[in-house]
Structure formats: structure tokens, C-alpha cells
Amino acid sequence: MTQETAVAELEKLPQERPFAVFPSGLPVLLVRRDGEVFALENRCPHMGCPLTSGRLDGWTLQCPCHDWRFDVRSGRFLDAPELGLKSYAVRIENGKVLVRLP
């Protein structure tokens, strides 16, 4: 069963910079770009590195530990899609970022 959880205020979410939140202890990465917000698992599947300090280039987030690259819109690993990040549904309501979590 999933539930929708308020994780941040939209106006406080930085533009085009990864931002970490921990709803119920779950590491989630938010990325705000071009008027949209995306939520991904904040842990690289390679070695478990947090992606918060990763480099964002367009829609691509690069892991700071080993340079793995992910599409922030889907969590897809660009070199091997089967190793992608979990992606969570996001919606904005009354200035709050709501994420659907497991």
C-alpha cells in the first residue's frame, strides 16, 4: 500500500539542484527543473552512495561516487536501464510537494 506524504514546500525547493528529504526515514531525492518536481530513491544502486551531491546536467544526474548517470524524470540508469533508481509520483498542492511512497 502506498501513501502520499508532504515532503517539502515548493518555494523552498532549490531550482536545478538535488535536495534530500527523509520521510519516515526513507532517503528521497527531489529535483526541481523547468517547473516540474521529480522524486527518486536517494541511493545509487552501484554502491549505495547518496546522490544529493551529484552533478545535474539537464535531465541527467551523475552519481558523485562512480559517475553513474540517471534520468531524473524516470530514474533510468542511462547505461543499463535495469539498474535504475526507484521513482516516486509527485504532485503539488497548496504549495506543498507531495510524494507517493511505499
**Which domains does the chain carry?**
3-101 (2.102.10.10)
Q: What pTM did the predictor assign?
A: 0.92
pLDDT of residue 1: 67
pLDDT of residue 37: 98
Contact by Cβ (8 Å): 84, 77 = yes
Closest of 80, 8, 81 to residue 39, by C-alpha:
8
pLDDT of residue 88: 97
> At residue 81, does pLDDT exceed 70?
yes
pLDDT of residue 82: 84
CA angle (50 as vertex; 69, 97 as ends), nearest 5: 90
25 to each of 28, 42, 59, 78, 80, how far by Cα in Å? 9, 12, 26, 27, 28
Which one has a higher pLDDT value, 100 or 1?
100
